[in-house]
Amino acid sequence: MSPPASSSAPAPSPPVDPAGDGTPAFSPLYQQIKTLIMRGLQSGEWKPGEAIPSELDLAARFRVSQGTVRKAIDELAAENLLVRRQGKGTFVATHSEEKIQYRFLRLQSEDGADPVPMQRQFLDCRRIAAPADVAKALSLRPGEMAVEIRRTLSQNGCPIVLDDIWLPAQLFTGLTAQRMGDYRGPLYGLFESEFGVRMIRAEEKIRAMAADQEVASVLGVEAGSPLLSVERLSFTYGDKPVELRRGFYNTSTHHYRNELS
């Protein structure tokens, strides 16, 4: 592999192997550096909220140009894995960061205001053998234990969201409804800080549905009322699924907002 024309520094030798399986590396050099930085994040070399080394230090470490490192960091910042702070450096993003703590919550009031923190109430938290569909989604073995959480999100005392959340039990030993209720930050912040599990991306499936009697009772609407069903599968490093969330949204005073690019 030839080094970039803008750099007098040699390319990594031997060539970076992003897959880790000995196969040749043909991806652009900055993508290979991005993979190496990701490995550092995944291994905990740099923890959420901590600063990573400077671009110059990383360039020296990986024996590439500063511009190559900058391009890799730019992508990681765009993916909300790193946060640049003017005059201070680059830090590992954390779910406690105001900018991204509502990154996966796309519900917005009809007046278009920024997301307002909702009051949460945990209705249940238990460990059970994962149902077949949950086990499949979370890549668990048949009969493997999962944590099932049921909670509501409310505004002004009115329930807006009912969430059923499933987590691999082995990653969340000691998680209880009281522990979640006592934590003042976002739920993903708790998962990150106390269990070392960071959600870095998610996939969603959305459909319209009519509220059944049980869901209608929790959300305080009539049975048969229109709701939005949002199923989210969240992943940590290595594209490992670590959360299945099935939410029921009352959109009578809110809408689900997304940006497409």
Q: Strands 145-155 and 119-129: what pairing?
A: antiparallel
Instruction: Using the structure block, give the residue that is written with the tokens 């998962």.
Output: 191
Q: Which of 93, 128, 150 is the last residue of a domain?
A: 93
Mean pLDDT for the stretch of residues 171-188:
91
Give me the number of domains the chain comprises. Answer: 2
Is a pLDDT exceeding 50 seen at residue 22? no
40: left (phi over 0), alpha (psi -120 to 50) or beta: alpha
Model confidence at 99, in pLDDT bands (50, 70, 90)?
low
pLDDT greater at residue 10 or residue 230: 230
What per-residue string of b and e applies to 209-234 under the rule 16 or more CB within 10 Å gives b?
A: eebeeebbeebebeeeeebbbbebbb
From 15-19, 85-89, 159-163, the region with the lowest mean pLDDT:
15-19
How many residues can be counted in the chain? 261
Residue of higher predicted confidence among 169 and 4:
169
CATH number at residue 37: 1.10.10.10
Compute the average pLDDT of residues 187-216. 92
Assess whether 118 and 195 both reside in one domain: yes
| Average pLDDT, rounded, for the chain | 84
Q: Are 177 and 125 in contact (CB under 8 A)?
A: yes
Give CA–CA dist 147/169, Å, rounded.
Answer: 5
pLDDT of residue 177: 92
Is the same domain home to 162 and 59? no
What residue type is assigned to position 85 of the chain? R
* Higher pLDDT among residues 11 and 62, named by residue: 62
- Over 90: is that where the pLDDT of 259 sits? no
What is the residue type of 1?
M
For residues 151 and 30, membership in a common domain is answered with: no
Is a pLDDT exceeding 70 seen at residue 98? Answer: no
Same domain, 112 and 179: yes
Domain annotation covers residue 98: no
List residues bridging with 236 in a β-sheet: 240
Distance of CA 222 to the CA centre of its chain: 33
Among candidate residues 93, 124, 153, the one where a domain is terminated: 93
Q: Are residues 116 and 72 in the same domain?
A: no
Host domain of residue 85: 1-93
Residues 89, 112 within the same domain: no
The verdict on residue 101 lying in a domain is no
Structure tokens at 81: 């894995």
Residues 80 and 121 in one domain: no
Mean pLDDT of 99-119: 60
- Are 68 and 150 members of one domain? no
In the predicted structure, residue 181 carries a pLDDT above the cut 50: yes
Reply yes or no on whether the pLDDT at 216 is more than 70. Answer: yes
In which band, very low, low, confident or very high, does the pLDDT at 260 lie, cut at 50, 70 and 90? Answer: low
Same structural domain for residues 45 and 116?
Answer: no
Last residue of a domain, one of 63, 93, 123: 93
Q: SS3 of 127, please?
A: strand
51 found inside a domain: yes
B/e letters for 135-157, b = 16+ CB within 10 Å, e = fewer, are bebbebeeeeebbbbbbbbebee
Domain assignment present for residue 261? The answer is no
More confident position, 167 or 189: 167
